[in-house]
Amino acid sequence: MTFSAKIVPRMAILGRMAARHKCRLILPGLAVVALLLAAGPSQAALVIALQEAGVNGGAITTVATGTDFTSASYSGTYGDFKVTFDSAATDNGATLSDILQSTTKVTNNNGSTATLHLWVTQTNYSLPAGSPLWMEAGLSGTVNSGTLAYGKIYQAWADKNNNAFGTGDFTLGAQSATPSGSTFDTGSAMNNFFRSGAYSVTTEINFTISGGGSANFSSHVNLAPTPAPAGLMLALTGLPCLGLGWLVRRRKEA
């Protein structure tokens, strides 16, 4: 009995020590989970969103997010459409800020023509310094099967009030594409954007695809100081839209 009486308290002490050790391990883990939950989509500065009439009440719906000036991507089914690797990346640079977006494929799974709106918005741009900024944007792509409507297929906005999906301040206007065989291109739209502090940039691609058809695209928005260096603007307007492979390589090198 005496032997047992000495063992029981010792085991109880060991049990309490083990419980305290587990708490030390669990509490930091809970703190990490809480931090991740706090950094949810509401705090994201880079947003990829989709929109289709009749889906989620026709609302612009967030499907992927990222922190400031990183990248994000989405693959999945939204309404009538299967979207394969819709990716976006943004930069906030002293000589050039941008939004780059591309998809591997957008497929209309419906038997009739339908329209998918593919949005990207990024807040908290602070560069390049000064005002106005020279803004330039364009889109190109390929029709894999079926048909695609080319009218008013792309539009880019900038907002001096730094609102996500800010479309009420400045726009380069709706851009239509010109087809050439299976490819299409909007060329470049450009103008001065006047800002006073942090600003946002938003883009929308309107893909109206025939039933069963599919297409892809690559788009860009560039913002440079004004007056823009001649060599820089020649490069921006003379090069085709940036492709997905270039975007991936660019991110890996960075």
Is 241:218 a contact under the CB 8 Å cutoff? yes
Tell me how far apart the alpha carbons of residues 58 and 56 are, in angstroms, rounded to a whole number: 5
89 strand-pairing partners: 71, 100
Residue 148 is classified by DSSP as: B
Is 180:141 a contact under the CB 8 Å cutoff? no
Tell me how far apart the alpha carbons of residues 113 and 117 are, in angstroms, rounded to a whole number: 14
Q: What is the pTM of this model?
A: 0.76
Q: How many CB atoms lie within 10 A of CB 134?
A: 20
Per-residue pLDDT of the chain (254 residues; tens, 9 = 90+): 444 444 344 444 434 544 444 444 434 443 433 333 333 344 579 999 999 999 999 999 999 999 999 999 999 999 999 999 999 999 999 999 999 999 999 999 999 999 999 999 999 999 999 999 999 999 999 999 999 999 999 999 999 999 999 999 999 999 999 999 999 999 999 999 999 999 999 999 999 999 999 999 999 999 999 875 555 555 555 544 445 454 545 555 55
H/E run at residue 46: strand 46-51
Q: Which residue, 202, 225, 232, 193, is CA-closest to 128?
A: 225
Region for 167 from its dihedrals, namely left if φ exceeds 0, alpha if ψ lies in -120 to 50, beta otherwise = alpha
